[in-house]
């Protein structure tokens, strides 16, 4: 049984906040907040899979909250749904410009809100599964927004710079990014559904797939280039990840060029 996703609901209207929380409580773990500043404080101490926020709030409105979330590398991966009484096309465009993943007008159907939540969470999962199983996919494909994609490309760049170093690990990566190990671990896991070490290994294997498709190196040479202890270890990891041995994958790529 899958664990319930953690949702943060932000609204200064007590009755509406209670209504949304009660309606979603059966399917999700719900945390509530009455303003944007309080919500940011909660983000610093807890993790959330999705955020629902009203737009019109005192102290910090939903637009500013969304912008701060999407501009922070630690939180930018979290989908944000904005709720608003404004129904003009300009307000919708404004919400999207601040990085909102969905924009729902009040009064709204609870069923529609639930459908949006399910869609955002499910789409993220499907894209990640495709990336993990497809050796020729691009890492930015699992990013749900530009901030996610920039973060993932930065992670890939760091890993690529240390491909031949078997000692490279999450601690070194955290130091380079000036992030704590727990924060980096949580961020990578939420964006990719992988641990940092799994992402390091997968990035090496995807680079291996690229080199194999070029047919310029032997399997043992690729193994050495990518910091594996032996060609056997490399081949075992490659087959476990992608369901093909390095040689089988290379042959499959050669066959594609014939058509």
Q: What is the pLDDT of residues 161-207, one digit of tens each?
A: 998 888 888 999 999 999 899 888 888 887 777 788 888 888 889 99
Q: What is the pLDDT of residues 237-257, one digit of tens each?
A: 999 988 889 999 888 876 654
If one counts every other C-beta atom within 10 angstroms of the C-beta of residue 91, the result is 17
- Cis peptide bond prior to 84, omega within 30° of 0: no
Q: What is the pLDDT of residue 250?
A: 85
Helix, strand, coil percentages for the chain (3-state, nearest 5): 60, 10, 30
Task: Taking each helix axis as running N to C, give the angle between helix 36-45 and helix 62-71, from 0 to 180 degrees, rounded to the nearest 10.
Answer: 30
pLDDT band at 117 (very low <50, low <70, confident <90, very high): very high
* Angle at the Cα of 136 from the Cα atoms of 152 and 190, rounded to 5 degrees: 30
Contacts of 155 (CB under 8 A, 6+ apart): 139, 173, 188, 199
């Amino acid at each position: 049984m899958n664990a319930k996703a953690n949702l943060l609901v932000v609204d200064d209207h007590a009755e509406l906040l209670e209504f949304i929380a009660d309606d979603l409580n059966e399917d999700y773990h719900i945390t509530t907040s009455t303003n944007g500043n309080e919500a940011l404080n909660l983000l610093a101490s807890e993790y959330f899979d999705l955020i629902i926020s009203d737009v019109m709030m005192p102290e910090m409105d939903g637009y500013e909250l969304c912008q701060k979330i999407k501009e922070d590398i630690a939180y930018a991966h979290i989908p944000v749904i904005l709720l608003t009484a404004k129904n003009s096309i300009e307000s919708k465009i404004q919400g999207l410009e601040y990085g909102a993943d969905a924009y729902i007008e009040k009064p709204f159907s609870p069923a529609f809100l639930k459908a949006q939540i399910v869609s955002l969470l499910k789409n993220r999962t499907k894209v990640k599964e495709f990336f993990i199983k497809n050796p020729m996919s691009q890492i930015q494909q699992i990013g749900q927004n530009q901030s996610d994609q920039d973060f993932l490309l930065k992670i890939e760049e760091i890993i690529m710079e240390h491909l031949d170093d078997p000692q490279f690990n999450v601690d070194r990566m955290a130091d380079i990014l000036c992030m704590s190990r727990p924060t980096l671990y949580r961020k990578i896991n939420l964006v990719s559904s992988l641990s940092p070490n799994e992402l390091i290994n997968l990035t090496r294997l995807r680079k291996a797939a690229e080199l194999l498709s070029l047919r310029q190196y032997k399997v043992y040479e690729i193994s050495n280039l990518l910091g594996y202890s032996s060609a056997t270890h490399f081949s075992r990891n490659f087959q476990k990840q992608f369901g093909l041995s390095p040689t089988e994958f290379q042959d499959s790529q050669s066959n594609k060029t014939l058509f």
